[in-house]
C-alpha cells in the first residue's frame, strides 16, 4: 500500500535526527578526556558515568526502538502473550544487581573491558574467552540490524520508501560513534528517553479518551481475537500457554544483561553505588513498557491496518491516525532516535569484543592501547555495515527470527559469566563443553520449530512444542530455557568428573577481594589486562 509523503512529519523527524547527530559529534568534547585513543575512554567513557547518565544509558541500551515497535505489534497480532516483556523487566533488576556489582568491581580492579576478558582471566582459558567473545558478537549483530526495523516502520508511515534513508542514517551514526565512542549514545540517550516518555504519557492519556475508554479498547481487542483465527490466545492466556509465557519472560530476564551492550553500560558506571541506584530506578522503564504494550490493543480499537504485512508499522500508524502531524512527527523522531542509541552501544560492545579478545589475543598480542582503540573504531564501522546488509539483503521477518535465535545463543554464556563471579567449582573444560552442548541443543530445537502462520518450516520461533519430546500436549516452552538446562547439566557433571580425575582447573587471576572493591578503594590495582598464558585450555 503506497502512502503519500507526510511532509511536516518528515521535516520534524529530519530535524530531530540532525539535533542528535550534532550532539553525537559534540559528545567527544563532553566530559572531555585528555585522549580518546584507548578502550577505557572510547569504549567505556572513562568508566566515569554517574547515576543519571548511567540510568539513561542503560535505559536507552535495554529498551530499544524494536521494543517500542515490536512489543505493541506482538500484542496487536497475538494478544496477551505480548505482555511477557513486562514481567521479565520486573524480575530482571534484583537478579542483575547481585551479579552486576561484582562484575563491575572485578573489571574495575583488573581493567577488564569485556565479559570475555573476565572469563578468560577467571578460568585461565583463552579458548573459553574466545567462545564467549564470538558468541557475543554473533548474538549482537542481528540485534543491531533490528534497530532498523523501527526506522523502516517510521519511514513507511511517513510515505518514504527505498533504502537510502536508512543507509544515510547509519552512515551518520557510524561517523559520530567513530569520533566520540560511548559518550555519543550516553549523551543522546537523554534526548531519546525524554521524547519517548513524553510521547507515551500523552498517548496513553489521549488515545483512550478518543476511543471511548479502556473498556471499549479491551472489548474491541477481545472481539477481534474471538472472531479471527490467530496463533495467540486473545486478551487472556490459555492454560497451555502459561508455561511458554512464563519461561519466555524468565529466559529473557536471564539474557538481557549478559548481552555485550548491557555489560558495556554497566562497566561504564562510576561506582558500585551507581549500579545499585540504577537497578532500583530502572523499573520506571517497565511502567512505560506496560503502557506501550497497550498500544497494540489501542490500534485494534482504532481500526489500524498494517502497511502490507508489516505489523511493525502498527504503532506509527496509530500515532499518525490519532494525532496531528506535528505531534506524530515528534513521536516518529523519538522512535528513530530510539534506534540509534542502542545501535551505537551495540556496535561499540561488539567492536570491543573483537579488539580485546580476538585481535589482541590472537593477532597482535603486543598491541598498544592506541592500536586497540583504532582497531575497535574500525571494527564498529564493519559491524554497522554488516547490520545494514542484513536488513537490506534478508527478509525483515527473517531478521526478527534471528533476534530470537540471538537470545537463545547469548544465554549459553550465562554459566561462564555468572558462575565465575562466585567461587564455584565450575571447571573451565566443563564450561566450554556446556557452552557447546547448549548451543547445539538450542540451534537444533530452533531448526525443528515451524511457524504455520508464515509457512516457515524451520526457525519459525523461539517456543518449542513439548509434544516433540513425547507428551501429548499443546504446551510450549522457551527454547532458551531447555538449552541452558542442558548447558548447566553438562557443566555440573563435567566439573565433578574433571575435578575427581585431577584435571587442572587453571590459575584464577582474580582475588576474592576484587569482587567487593569500589571506586577509590586503597586496595585497587589496575594492571594491564594481558592475554592469558594458557591458549590451549
With H, G, I as helix, E, B as strand and everything else as coil, classify residue 161: coil
pLDDT of residue 531: 45
Burial of 106 (0-12, 13-18, 19+ CB in 10 A): buried
Closest CA to 13 of 337, 338, 339, 329: 329
- Distance, CA of 209 to CA of 205 (rounded, Å): 7
pLDDT of residue 211: 93
453 contacts: CB under 8 Å, gap ≥ 6: 231
Q: Is residue 443 in a domain?
A: no
Q: Is residue 298 in a domain?
A: yes
pLDDT of residue 523: 64
Q: Are 456 and 447 in contact (CB under 8 A)?
A: no
Closest CA to 258 of 87, 480, 489: 480
Q: Is residue 459 in a domain?
A: no
Crossing angle of helices 283-301 and 314-322, in 10° steps, is 70
Residue 312's CATH number? 1.20.1730.10
Three-class SS of 47-62: HCECHHHHHHHHHHHH
- Distance, CA of 336 to CA of 185 (rounded, Å): 13
Q: Is residue 414 in a domain?
A: no
- Distance, CA of 346 to CA of 232 (rounded, Å): 31
Q: How many domains does the chain have?
A: 1
Q: Are 442 and 408 in contact (CB under 8 A)?
A: yes
Model-level pTM?
A: 0.89
Closest CA to 505 of 431, 430, 432, 427: 427
- In the DSSP assignment, the letter for residue 228 is S
Q: Is residue 65 in a domain?
A: yes
Q: Bridge partners of 381?
A: none
User: Length of the chain, please?
Assistant: 537
Q: Which domain holds residue 82?
A: 43-408
pLDDT of residue 527: 47
Q: Are 192 and 338 in contact (CB under 8 A)?
A: yes
- Distance, CA of 130 to CA of 304 (rounded, Å): 47
The three three-digit cell numbers of residue 45, written as one number: 567513557
pLDDT of residue 388: 75
Q: Is residue 460 in a domain?
A: no
Q: 461 phi and psi, to 5 degrees?
A: 160, 175
- Distance, CA of 69 to CA of 282 (rounded, Å): 20
Q: DSSP readout, 129-188?
A: HHHHHHHHHHHHHHHHHHHHHHHHHHHHHHT--SSHHHHHHHHHHHHHHHHHTTHHHHHH
Which helix (H) or strand (E) element contains residue 477? strand 476-478
pLDDT of residue 33: 62
Q: Is residue 434 in a domain?
A: no
User: Each residue's pLDDT tens digit in the chain (537 positions)?
Assistant: 556 678 888 899 889 888 988 888 888 777 666 666 788 888 888 888 888 888 888 887 777 766 788 888 888 988 888 888 888 888 888 888 889 999 999 999 998 999 999 999 999 999 999 999 999 998 888 788 778 777 888 888 888 876 677 778 778 888 888 888 888 888 888 888 888 889 999 999 999 999 999 999 999 999 888 887 555 567 888 777 888 889 988 998 898 889 999 999 999 999 999 999 988 888 888 888 888 889 999 999 999 988 877 788 899 999 999 999 999 999 998 888 888 888 888 999 999 999 999 999 999 888 888 889 899 989 988 888 877 776 666 555 555 566 667 889 999 999 999 999 998 889 999 999 999 999 999 999 988 887 766 667 777 778 888 888 877 777 889 999 999 999 999 999 999 999 999 999 889 999 988 999 887 776 665 544 444 444 444
The three three-digit cell numbers of residue 512, written as one number: 576474592
Q: Is residue 482 in a domain?
A: no
Amino acid at each position: 500500500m503506497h502512502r503519500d509523503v507526510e511532509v511536516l512529519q518528515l521535516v520534524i523527524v529530519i530535524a530531530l535526527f540532525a539535533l542528535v547527530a550534532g550532539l553525537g559529534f559534540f559528545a567527544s568534547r563532553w566530559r572531555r578526556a585528555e585522549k580518546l585513543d584507548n578502550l577505557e575512554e572510547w569504549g567505556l567513557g572513562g568508566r566515569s558515568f554517574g547515576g543519571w547518565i548511567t540510568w539513561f544509558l542503560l535505559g536507552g541500551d535495554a529498551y530499544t526502538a524494536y521494543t517500542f515497535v515490536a512489543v505493541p505489534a506482538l500484542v496487536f497480532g497475538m494478544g496477551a502473550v505480548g505482555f511477557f516483556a513486562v514481567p521479565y523487566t520486573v524480575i530482571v533488576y534484583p537478579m542483575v544487581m547481585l551479579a552486576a556489582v561484582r562484575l563491575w568491581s572485578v573489571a574495575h580492579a583488573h581493567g577488564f573491558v569485556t565479559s570475555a576478558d573476565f572469563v578468560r582471566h577467571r578460568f585461565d582459558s583463552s579458548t573459553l574467552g574466545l567462545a564467549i567473545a564470538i558468541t557475543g558478537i554473533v548474538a549482537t549483530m542481528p540485534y543491531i540490524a533490528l534497530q532498523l526495523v523501527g526506522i523502516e516502520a517510521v519511514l513507511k508511515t511517513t510515505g518514504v520508501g527505498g533504502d537510502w534513508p536508512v543507509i544515510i542514517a547509519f552512515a551518520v551514526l557510524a561517523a559520530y560513534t567513530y569520533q566520540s565512542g560511548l559518550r555519543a549514545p550516553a549523551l543522546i540517550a537523554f534526548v531519546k528517553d525524554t521524547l519517548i516518555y513524553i510521547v507515551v504519557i500523552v498517548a496513553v492519556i489521549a488515545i483512550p479518551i478518543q476511543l471511548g475508554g479502556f473498556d471499549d479498547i479491551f472489548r474491541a481487542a477481545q472481539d477481534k481475537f474471538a472472531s479471527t483465527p490467530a496463533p495467540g490466545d486473545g486478551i487472556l492466556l490459555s492454560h497451555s500457554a502459561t508455561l511458554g509465557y512464563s519461561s519466555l519472560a524468565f529466559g529473557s530476564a536471564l539474557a538481557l544483561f549478559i548481552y555485550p551492550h548491557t555489560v558495556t553500560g554497566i562497566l561504564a558506571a562510576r561506582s558500585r553505588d551507581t549500579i545499585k541506584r540504577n537497578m532500583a530506578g530502572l523499573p520506571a522503564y517497565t511502567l512505560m513498557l506496560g503502557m506501550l504494550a497497550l498500544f497494540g490493543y489501542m490500534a485494534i480499537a482504532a481500526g489500524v491496518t498494517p502497511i502490507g504485512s508489516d505489523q511493525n508499522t502498527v504503532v506509527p500508524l496509530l500515532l499518525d491516525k490519532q494525532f496531528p502531524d506535528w505531534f506524530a512527527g515528534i513521536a516518529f523522531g523519538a522512535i528513530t532516535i530510539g534506534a540509534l542509541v542502542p545501535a551505537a552501544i551495540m556496535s561499540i560492545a561488539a567492536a570491543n569484543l573483537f579488539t580485546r579478545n580476538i585481535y589482541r589475543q590472537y593477532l597482535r598480542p603486543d598491541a598498544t592501547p592506541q592500536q586497540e582503540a583504532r582497531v575497535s573504531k574500525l571494527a564498529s564501522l564493519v559491524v554497522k555495515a554488516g547490520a545494514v546488509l542484513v536488513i537490506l539483503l534478508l527478509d525483515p521477518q527473517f531478521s526478527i527470527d534471528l533476534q530470537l535465535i540471538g537470545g537463545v545463543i547469548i544465554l549459553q554464556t550465562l554459566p561462564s559469566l555468572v558462575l565465575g563471579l562466585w567461587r564455584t567449582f565450575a571447571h573451565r573444560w566443563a564450561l566450554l563443553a556446556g557452552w557447546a552442548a547448549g548451543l547445539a541443543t538450542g540451534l537444533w530445537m530452533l531448526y525443528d520449530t515451524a511457524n504455520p502462520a508464515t509457512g516457515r518450516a524451520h526457525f519459525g520461533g523461539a517456543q518449542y512444542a513439548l509434544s516433540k519430546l513425547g507428551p501429548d500436549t499443546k504446551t510450549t516452552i522457551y527454547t532458551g530455557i531447555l538449552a541452558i538446562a542442558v548447558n548447566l547439566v553438562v557443566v555440573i557433571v563435567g566439573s565433578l568428573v574433571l575435578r575427581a580425575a585431577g584435571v587442572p582447573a587453571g590459575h584464577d587471576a582474580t582475588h576474592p577481594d576484587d569482587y567487593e572493591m569500589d571506586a577509590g578503594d586503597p586496595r585497587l590495582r589496575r594492571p594491564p589486562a594481558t592475554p592469558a598464558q594458557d591458549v590451549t585450555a
